[in-house]
A and B are shown apart, each in its own frame.
Chain A
């Protein structure tokens, strides 16, 4: 498979008999027509409402989408118009995406928890004319935006609550629009005609990336790219109409758009919408999803909850949990990979599955998961191994919005915690001289919407895309990602400084929710820590530590001691790795507030915006590098959930760490 030094390409895609005929079903709406025909009675979508799962078959789905599409058409929606989609994962919002696409209009899903100003920017930039939104909260936000952004004509809402008395032009209910659609004459033919006009290189969607730098950019993906991505995944993981997924990640995220939308139309499986964002774990358990997709944060949270719960468990349970988790750590991975394992170990693992792993997987709602993916950013190897040890086939995927997700994936049986796998079918990968990963595939984006400059910087004329990530291809032919290319730096003595790598090690501790490491162009490495309120809060409760706020708990001397131990453990690990041994953390502090997407410090998908953090907390960073300072006062502006602003003041303690000795000789030995 290897082409040249540092260049790889994925398996050659062939059309199997089961695969749809890509030349006929080249757009999502055409696939809808096919599904309604070949599997009309099978479930396409479910939603839990008033405690009961409601199901829509593919035939029902077609009716819903057609009525809405015709209604929108009657209101003046035309080919090429942009339609904003705002809200939690609801069947009606997914249908709205397909409705728009069936008319050749372009859906633009927007992060539903963005404040009005943030949302206004995206709507204005995309030139949105229509919006389909979930509820009153979003309608209010859009009405506020419409005061300055006049092009927004129609707002269609799903949930009627609180909106009955709204008498505003261009605000109507989903039912009313569907009724308009039902009232139109020979609608069915018109609609099917519109779908027939769709082509593979039509724009399917514009996804605004949250972006760790600057304003969000609108990534334009074609119908062809989305269908290709879903086709590829179907072949890679043998997906069928019998699979079940749960849709709970933001609809504006490319992962959700492919997994919960495009993939469902291509493979014909059922997408389940949870009752509310808080009930996802229970809902997932009830549905028994077989195919899962989540950013590392979600998996980290599950471990944190488990750790917290186990702290409160009885001594016997704790012992049992620890013992069998030990067994799993030793043999689980090998059993999952189908490697030979001693009979006794197999027996112990079987017993462990009965008593610990099975119930645990059931609690996570992952009992039936056939394939689970983690993507979005790097997952800590310990977290990854934990799930695999339990027998969950968690795999890593390397993807980007610009690639319609898929760049590389881990094939079954070739799973390594520190690599992201081999290129997917149809993908070519090359490592640039700078160390940056470049890729080319049928799924790559057309352009950044209305941003020629950024498009030129990212995409070469012959279709290669700069990933922005630094990586290399290891001797097994797997891609290994080190960090964001622009984030990888060096200490003044030349030691490699990959911030993400260090932060992930810190974040493995349940008590640490977020970490930001500094060191590029400095003499030593330092870090900001955010404690995890669930985990540390539970510790506080057990130890009778009284606190009123995050800030107070963060400043507690015992909490500092606890975090100091964690940092020390990370330093010990770092000291044993040749490339980063010199990048041990010399000083750290616990931030007085949590990094928050509302303040722009992390993105909505929980990636740290480094430049902004550097700027806002400059005082603290300076203090970290001033050995004479043991404490530092800081005042930060915060944004509340309703968009109001306020100040939060803190006096933050800085801790010095003792570094571990680096045994250079042992690295040499290991090398020899």
Chain B
């Protein structure tokens, strides 16, 4: 995967047999007596935008944490790019091409936008500590190459004006964008977005939607996102999986899911 402009090959893939990038089979996760995820199975196709929705406490964030190896499910299998695993460390997930953003922004608040995004390149820097300290020769050359990639991402997400601003001083909407930029700097194959639009106003949401679509379209990045705004989910996603109390209650296209009675009940509540 390269950040440079590259035509997306998603359209045709979707029509005929889609390639499965990530397959989750019968995964269960519990913390002591609390069952966060109960026997959930679904898959993510290469090149699609997959939404994970559900009411509060449905297990959505836990699901993302399972995917990027932060939580280890007690039962079940996860196959990523044809490789099956039950346990994986987050950094292994990262090296394999899974990047994510967080529900509550997790940036280095005192560092500039540029440095935050550069930190996303850490895994791709290979010169050792002493070379880095010298900032000379191969280490400098490596830094310049990475900086170029980072500048492309800055340009892509239109955040040139905050390049040097410490992120702690940025408004929330922009912090979210910087976080997305850092995730993109890893050049991921699978991008996990945990509520990328929480707390944004209409305009910021539209901007962010545009960026997510562009990332998917231009870089061909597969995206799994958790989102509460149903308008956004319906507009963006190819397929939606719905969780409630840790169980999967629906899986399908946005249209199928939104007309599903179980989903409506889960969101609006039913008389017991």
Contact = CB atoms under 8 A, between A and B. Distances in A.
Contacts of B203: 640-641
B7 to A, nearest CB: 5
B44 to A, nearest CB: 22
Contacts of B156: 161
A671 interface: no
Given A50-B148, A50-B151, A50-B152, A161 B214 contact: yes
Contact of A276 (B148, B160, B214): B160
Given A161-B214, A164-B7, A51 B151 contact: yes
A279 B160 contact: yes
Contact of A279 (B151, B152, B161): B161
A51 B154 contact: yes
A49 B152 CA distance: 9
Contact of A278 (B5, B7, B8, B161): B161
B214 A640 contact: no
26 contacts: A49-B155, A50-B148, A50-B152, A50-B154, A50-B155, A51-B160, A51-B163, A160-B5, A161-B5, A161-B156, A161-B214, A162-B214, A162-B218, A164-B5, A164-B218, A165-B7, A165-B8, A165-B11, A165-B217, A275-B160, A275-B161, A276-B160, A276-B161, A279-B160, A279-B161, A641-B203
Interface in B116-153: 148, 151-152
Interface string B152-182: 1011101011010000000000000000000
Contacts of A160: 5
B106 interface: no
Interface string A625-655: 0000000000000001110000000000000
Contacts of A188: none
Interface in B169-224: 202-203, 206, 214, 217-218
B217 A162 contact: yes
The residue in A50, A278, A640, A641 that gathers the most chain B C-beta atoms within 10 A of its C-beta is A50
Given A161-B5, A276-B158, A279-B161, 20 more contacts: A50-B148, A50-B151, A50-B154, A51-B154, A51-B163, A160-B5, A161-B156, A161-B218, A164-B7, A165-B8, A165-B217, A275-B160, A276-B160, A276-B161, A278-B160, A278-B161, A279-B160, A282-B161, A641-B203, A642-B206
Interface string A159-173: 011101100000000
Contacts, number: 40
Contacts of A165: 7-8, 11, 217
A138 to B, nearest CB: 14
A161 B7 CA distance: 10
Nearest to A50: B151
Contacts of A51: 151, 154, 160, 163
A274 to B, nearest CB: 9
Interface of A: 49-51, 160-162, 164-165, 275-276, 278-279, 282, 640-642
Nearest to A159: B155
Contacts of A164: 5, 7, 218
Nearest to A52: B151
- At the interface, is chain A mostly helix, strand, loop or mixed? loop
Contacts of A278: 160-161
Contacts of B151: 50-51
For B148, B151, B155, B217, the residue with the greatest tally of chain A CB atoms inside 10 Å of its CB is: B155
Contacts of A641: 203, 206
B117 to A, nearest CB: 12
Contacts of B218: 161-162, 164
Nearest to B147: A51
Interface in B21-35: none
A51 B155 CA distance: 9
Nearest to A137: B210
Nearest to A281: B161
Contacts of B155: 49-50
A50 B155 CA distance: 6
A533 to B, nearest CB: 12
Contacts of A162: 214, 217-218
A278 B152 CA distance: 17
Given A50-B151, A161-B214, A162-B218, A640 B160 contact: no
A165 B151 CA distance: 24
Interface in B1-42: 5, 7-8, 11
A509 B214 CA distance: 42
A640 B202 contact: yes
A50 B152 CA distance: 6
